[in-house]
Structure 1
């Protein structure tokens, strides 16, 4: 792990150090080739990792750091693939992984090109779309992944917005007092503000419990100094 050196204000240096420590203490990630820079609550992580799952872990780690309003991930995947492995080899492993994942419907299909996986198909629930990604993102040799799986349309329910706001208020990991939900043609639009990137992510996850929602536009602003529930 490297920390970019430059003349910095104390808040930026403290945030940069906190982000670097969080990366180093993430067990599923080898942070030895990463560099961290912080400026005005925005953290930039650059470098390389060995797998797509490690790349995803970088983003999750930054969401756990208090004071980060935005994270720029300039990290490339440099996989240690099996000697002589081809796209065909990876495709067969991907198909087997999707078939054996109990939460992934048969409607999910995959394509592999230049070690890049594209998932397509239509499913009923977001957890099925998430399960498909989780089933393949840890596979060796995968350089990147594009989850294009869509959700099937459902009938609108008049109280969907209110039910979503109540669900968020019940969520112990989210202070949703400043979050507003608007549903337009099965798209949930989240506006307002939260205190951390983790809360912004949690608000999006909470929205998927509503069966009327097939797409989310998470426009929540992150304000690290926002008051929080105690």
Structure 2
């Protein structure tokens, strides 16, 4: 039985109140046909992001529309140049992110990242590492992955991971690669083995998306 909009609204409000990163009193919640609209003013981009994640965690939610504004307190007001310097410093200090290929643009506190990185985790980490910087009102992650994956490379990653843990032969897993997307099928012996295969694929350079059809 599907939830009513009224129940979804109550559950989203409860989830917001349970999240210590969010001040639920500042956020209005409306629900229509399972689509949640979040409105109001928050003090930081991080709070806005956490509110959106909280709403998405609630069962029955079909979509989330974010109409919240980031209104920074007076002490957090910073110029775009200050924010750009803080972003560059954060990226430089993070040993997992190749800073040189990443370009930073800031307009009214909104940070846009462009450039190429070898790995998907670097792309995601670059955005998440600047989410909590004072003065940031939003982040557009336009980083792209440099190399395209090949079936041979992805299979090699899976085989190496399985061999390290003395598990099944990688030939039991079928790998299809279309541009930067990888589709997996076949059979694994356990959920843990399936997770290991999934992790190995994401550790292959150039992978943007993984469709996992592996059976257990």
Which structure is higher in helix share?
A: 2
Instruction: Check the 8 A contact 1:123/1:150 in 2, yes or no.
Output: yes
Higher mean displacement: 108-117 or 80-89: 80-89
In 1, distance between residues paired with 2:15 and 2:63?
Answer: 15
TM-score, normalised by the number of residues in structure 1: 0.66
Counterparts of 1:1-230 in structure 2 under 5 Å?
11-80=4-73, 82=75, 85-106=78-99, 107-157=101-151, 183-188=177-182, 209=202, 211=204, 213-216=206-209
Separation in structure 2 between the aligned mates of residue 90 and residue 182 of structure 1, nearest angstrom: 42
Distance of 1:12 and 1:83 partners within structure 2: 37
Distance 1:77 1:215, change over 3 A: same
Greater mean alpha carbon deviation, residues 208-217 or residues 12-21: 208-217
Instruction: Give the structure 2 partner of residue 6 of structure 1.
Output: none
Structure 1 residue 47, shift from structure 2 partner: 1.4
Structure with bigger gyration radius: 2
Ranges in structure 2 where 5+ consecutive residues have no aligned partner? 159-174, 185-197, 212-216
Displacement of 1:25: 1.3
**What is the total number of aligned residue pairs between the two structures?**
180
CA gap 1:155/1:94 in 2 versus in 1, 3 angstroms: closer
TM-score by length of 2: 0.70
Deviations 1:183-202 (A, max 9, x none): 42223589xxxxxxxxxxxx
Q: Are residues 18 and 207 of structure 1, via their aligned partners in 2, closer, same or farther at CA, if it must alter by over 3 Å?
A: farther
